[in-house]
Amino acid sequence: MKTWLFLAGAIALGAKAGETSPRLSPARTPLAAGLTDVRSLVPDIAEDIHYATSDNFTGAPVDGYRAPKCFLRTAAAEALARVEATLRKDGYRLRVWDCYRPARAVTAFVRWAGDLSDTRTKAAHYPNLGKDKLLGEYIAPISGHSRGATVDLTLMRCDDARCAPLDMGTDFDFFDPRAHTDDPGISAAQRVNRQRLLHAMAAEGFVNYAPEWWHYSLPSAAAADTIYDVPVE
């Protein structure tokens, strides 16, 4: 109960002036939240769910991630499966880093961002920014991921069932202007790779978040006024 009340308070504080804060769904299972395991549609999709491990910007497994799985609202999962199928025809595949994100995980991110003494991951994730600059553009108290229709991912080039990630110019969760999808400082090849991902996702209605080349949402697949806190397990 304390966790639930804390999340509700964080949601209310996270709403901008004049906005209505999203409703925290009472759903307790993926089925009740309308979430689908993407692997039920694409059994061999490449998943590398960083927040279920210590390999992420917090330096520890994140609250709410009890298994390295990708859940999305069913319409978003189906759209992602279509993107994957189309890419495979041309020798490419997706690698998924994050999908639905429990609200408690977002709260954990905000709590981490507020601890300015913990800079263990600065070199890998925000070398050019002070940690006090991360809240807002990079870490928000309410995330579209918690609506279940947002995914973080990259592209791989595959040959004879062996795949290698394309050079996108930065790693995942690199908090820096270089991660902006249209950053002018990236190479021509990196720009081509980002655009290939952008066009593949846009073909199924996914919209890119401009400050993060890896971040895509399918607005039609989720209710804008509802977020979820079902653990990933």
**Nearest to residue 70, comparing CAs of 93, 33, 89, 96?**
96
State the number of CA atoms in the 13 A half-sphere of 21 facing the CB: 13
Grouping H, G, I as helix, E, B as strand and the rest as coil, residue 106 is: helix
- Residue tagged active-site, from 19, 204, 212, 233: 212
**Cα–Cα distance measured from residue 93 to residue 85, given in angstroms and rounded to the nearest whole number:** 8
What SS3 class is residue 232? Answer: strand
Distance, in Å, from the CA atom of 84 to the CA atom of 201, rounded to the nearest integer, reads: 9
Identify any residues that bridge with 155 across adjacent strands, giving them in sequence order: 94
The amino acid occupying position 120 is: R
Alpha carbon distance 64, 60 (integer Å)? 12
212: annotated active-site residue = yes
Phi and psi at residue 11, in whole multiples of 5°?
-65, -45
SS3 125: helix
Catalytic residues: 212
